[in-house]
Chains A and B, each alone.
Chain A
Amino acid sequence: MSSELSELFERTLPPDDVILRRMAAARTRRVTDRPARRWPWALAGVGACIAGLALVRAVPDPILLVEPEHFDQKQAKPAARPGVQPTVGAAAEPPRGIEPGKEARTSKSNEAPADIPLRKGGLPPATWEAAAQALRAGDQAEAQRLLEELARSDDPEVRDGARLVRLRSLVQARRPSPTERAELTELSTSGATASIRAAARRLLEETSSPPDP
């Protein structure tokens, strides 16, 4: 069977000039508009970093995110100063930022769904699963945030896939704006893969057709 498959592979291989032409077309698609597309994303990335830093500083203490039962009381105790005896039998001081009698932020009501792990900043990480869940739940703002984060991925396939899903979720409710239409056109011509280009083309056709009477 081995030699038969190998021979079949060789017989159906396109000629060299066809291969080179196809690869050149793929390279052209890859190069087209990329530099122009990158700088807004770079600016958005810098903005997201600054916002993330501000968020981290706004959170009182990362220790708040530790589960109460896992909280090591010995670690929370301030270092004993020389000459000062620790109070024997006294309750351990609550961690900084938690008033006595109040629960940490990991109470039941604030918990995220069990299948999406929380990040340190309290926001779920941008995954396809999280984005799909947000879309299913009708949380458009969260879905857009997650998809925009996915669209900043280094992987062209992930990036263009996220852009496509984001545009689709936007144009489902209303007619696409000129910017969205331009982005969709660009995806249909220079998307990362043929599947993405075809899906973008189809979405463009659907949104271009006049509404049914």
Chain B
Amino acid sequence: MDSAPRPLRSPMPHHAPVLPPARELTLLVYRQMRALTGPHRDLDDLAQTALEQILRSNYRGESKLSTFTHSVCYHVWVKHLRFSYRFRARFALAETDEQASGVDAKDPASLLEDRQRFLRLYEALERVSVKRRAVVALHDVSGLDVPEIACIVGASEATVRTRLRDGRKKLRALLARDPEFSEGASDAPPQNPPRRELPCPQS
């Protein structure tokens, strides 16, 4: 049995994924972390931690860069929350009086109103569970689609859809009580639409 020489596979062109310039990467990571945390006082430090991890990691280009950076941001944020819950549950340190970070408006005219709305939005989001909150923030604030979110949070698409539905429901209920958002909430479909009455049978 003659063994014909196997054709050599043409070498795949190896494109080493290149991270964008530091300035762009910094802005990208900050935006992504801000979408998750909101106007959190630790936002700058969390974004810096995520940035360090991204620069230290070996990004191989198996996913989109934004998915990869989002994933790092998500894990840094969840780890921070876990630490905070454990720490504060046991050691009641004095509450910080530092101002919320990362809330600025480009247009001074709408500064106060938008700032207030943004703060209230994340105050409401903080009352939604972490997993649901993350999915809502990634979908509704960052504008990602469900498969990408599933990749970032490490869950199935069905789970992500469920979390999105439940998180939105809870958020809508919370915002409906907030005067800042009551107009927007009225546009949303009612949670329990009124039952259609059956016509009376004609005798």
Contact = CB atoms under 8 A, between A and B. Distances in A.
Contacts, number: 129
Nearest to A30: B48
A29 B44 CA distance: 11
Q: Which 9 A-B pairs have the closest CB atoms?
A: A198-B96, A14-B104, A132-B90, A26-B48, A199-B93, A2-B140, A26-B44, A194-B41, A193-B42
A147 B27 CA distance: 36
Interface of B: 23, 26-27, 30-31, 34-35, 41-42, 44-49, 51-52, 79-80, 83-84, 86-87, 90-91, 93-94, 96-98, 101-107, 110, 114-115, 117-118, 121, 139-143, 168, 171-172, 184, 187-188
- Max count, chain B CB within 10 A of own CB: residue among A132, A157, A197, A203: A157
B45 A128 contact: no
Contacts of B47: 23, 26
Nearest to A15: B106
A19 B79 CA distance: 23
Contact of A19 (B26, B93, B121): B26
B44 A14 contact: no
Contact of B44 (A6, A22, A164): A22
5 contacts: A1-B187, A14-B104, A132-B90, A165-B91, A195-B98
A18 B41 CA distance: 15
Contacts of A6: 140-143
A39 interface: no
Interface of A: 1-2, 4-6, 8-9, 11-16, 18-20, 22-23, 25-27, 29-30, 128-129, 131-132, 155-158, 161, 164-165, 168, 192-195, 197-199, 202-203
B141 A9 contact: yes
Nearest to B45: A193
A128 B35 contact: no
Nearest to B172: A1
Given A23-B26, A199-B93, A12 B42 contact: no
Given A5-B121, A18-B104, A30-B48, 5 more contacts: A5-B141, A8-B118, A12-B114, A13-B106, A203-B94
- Max count, chain A CB within 10 A of own CB: residue among B83, B84, B115: B83
Given A13-B106, A19-B30, A20-B23, A194 B121 contact: no
A197 B101 CA distance: 14
A12 B139 contact: no
A1 B101 contact: no
A5 B105 contact: no
A12 B105 contact: yes
A15 B111 CA distance: 13
A26 B106 contact: no
B97 A20 contact: no
Nearest to A14: B104
Nearest to A19: B30
A208 to B, nearest CB: 15
Nearest to B41: A194
Contact of A1 (B23, B49, B107, B140): B140
B44 A13 contact: no
A194 B27 contact: no
Contact of B87 (A161, A198, A202): A161
Nearest to A24: B26
